[in-house]
Chain A
Amino acid sequence: MALLVVAVAAVAFFALPLLGLLQQARWSTLVDDLTSPGARDALRLSLVVSLGATALALGLGTPLAWVLARAAVPARSLLRSLVLLPMVVPPVVGGTALLAALGPESPVGGWLDDAFGVVLPGTTTAAVLAAAFVAMPFYVITVEGALRGVDRRLEQVAASLGAGRATVLRRVTLPIVGPSLVSGAVLAWARALGEFGATVTFAGNVEGQTRTLPLAVSLRLQEDQGSGIALSLVLVAVSVVVLAALRDRWLRTP
């Protein structure tokens, strides 16, 4: 009985903030709040940055997951810890580290400036890098786990049946891990969409360049709570859609 009471309290703990958001929402001006130039910019930027970060995670993360799962690499657990670090380190610290490594004061940043006239902080590219930095580990561990789960003997059988390495990858390995590629990408994308700390630290809060939805929400809450809540509702709606899309993988009781 006592357990039940605590469980109900826990449910309330999750449900109340959501209800609060809905209750405080200024429904009459919602459309105006969401279509103001600043909000539209933030929406567009969030889409560009989160999708860009996801693309980066797919392009770099898939081979990395493959290496972690399959290749004979020395110090594999050390390598994996390095990859997972951004999941554990506070995002602000991650952003600070990116700034230290790629900012204009750093050797790499200095070289980029000298050679190409590129200064990363303040640009959308920097926002994408910051989001990818924190989001990619989600994709990598999901895919690595899936690749480890593939029965290697299936690949051997496929080879015996006349399939070369590329065919085995295309017709056996990737189809088997396909659902995990998708859910890993969605996880990474959701993480990139909500990214705040590393972005604000490394890329800054520049309207039209790096001010994504979370940055815009935090800024607006200080001036006009209603429009901040309106933008928050967009992020909640997106999360609900993601959860619904992945319900088969996460919500189904085994």
Chain B
Amino acid sequence: MTLLADVRVRRGALDLVVDLAVASGTVTAVVGPNGAGKSTLLAAVAGHLALDAGRIALDGTDLDAPPDVFVPPEDRRLGLVPQDHLLFPHLSALDNVAFAPRARGVPAREARARAAALLERVGVGAVADLRPRALSGGQAQRVALARALAADPAALLLDEPLSALDARTRIEVRRDLRRHLVGFAGPTLLVTHDPVDAFALADHVVVLEGGRVTQAGPLAEVTARPRSRHVADLVGTNLLPGTAAGTTIRTDGGLEVVVAEPLHGPVLATIPPTAVALHRHAPEGSPRNRWSGTVADVDRLGDRVRVRLAPPVGLVAEITPAAAAELGLREGDPVWASVKATEVTAYPR
């Protein structure tokens, strides 16, 4: 089962041209700055906006193929988890989740039993009788996920599912969301402006800028080789899965990274490339993290130079052209990299 979206839509100043495919059991994240057309893309797939040209198909069935086919949103079998959860304010959490089965004619009793089970599954069974107003952000987002799953969807659409949450809740909900997405058999399309969400949840990334796809591919490839300055800013951060014991993380790549806040268990650490300093000789002084390695390649991206180190260090550093000229780095040169402990962000995965 695959979700195909060859979308061409003109709307105001936005001219959106996107062609993507999401395979069953995989998650594709569409990332990009505000106004890039992410929400418009999702609206088109959901059927809230008709295509000017192109084709949207799910499992070989056309959902929108102008000028002949337009399946209305209610018949698309898509589970939408909207931005800001958008739960129905006049219904309890349970009735929100029971909404989809009820709309498809399932008797009230059965729909509610199904809803109660789903609320349990996403970990908010205790708030079934509360109205959305009484729910915390994290609870509301979980209810919204349950509501989408209750529709028994063939594909899931997530619109900035974590953007309304505070930092702490976001980490928890993100982890749970990942678990549920892994358990979901159909294709998932995720729209987010936060690259960390993409890292944590997606297998593939599509970068959207000004209505055009500027880069697409497996997550690791896009983060390792951003093709534009913009993509580098967006997703080009160093991502290190590892295991934490206190303030030390041993990465799966065999690196030891010191962080400021103690943690335990499996973690995901990120280091912005601009926080990685490069040196010809072993650095002295404050940085808690320093590694010696070799330069894998050097790229000029706009007003920055992007230096990739070979494994096992495998970090990407972004330095100014002046610094690059001073260091005079070339492929294969030995180099030291250093990062302050406070520049490393780590969170449980």
Contact = CB atoms under 8 A, between A and B. Distances in A.
B103 A162 contact: yes
Nearest to B152: A162
A70 interface: no
Question: Among A161, A164, A171, which residue has the most Cβ atoms of chain B within 10 A?
Answer: A161
A175 B72 contact: no
A19 interface: no
Q: Is the interface of A mostly helix, strand, loop or mixed?
A: helix
A139 to B, nearest CB: 21
Interface string B83-124: 000101110000000011011100000000000000000000
A179 B48 CA distance: 28
A154 interface: yes
11 contacts: A153-B82, A154-B89, A161-B74, A161-B103, A161-B147, A162-B74, A163-B74, A164-B103, A171-B99, A172-B88, A176-B88
Given A153-B82, A154-B86, A159 B74 contact: yes
A160 B103 contact: no
A153 B76 contact: no
B48 A162 contact: no
Contacts of B99: 158, 161, 163, 171
A162 B151 contact: yes
Interface of A: 151, 153-154, 156-164, 167, 171-172, 175-176, 178
Interface residues of B, number: 27
Q: Is the interface of B mostly helix, strand, loop or mixed?
A: mixed
A15 to B, nearest CB: 38
Contacts of A176: 88-90
Contact of A154 (B88, B148, B151): B88
A153 to B, nearest CB: 6
A178 B80 CA distance: 26
Contacts of A171: 99, 102-103
A176 B87 CA distance: 12
Q: Which 7 A-B pairs have the closest CB atoms?
A: A161-B100, A159-B73, A163-B103, A160-B80, A162-B103, A175-B90, A162-B104
Contacts of B4: none
Contact of A158 (B76, B88, B104): B88
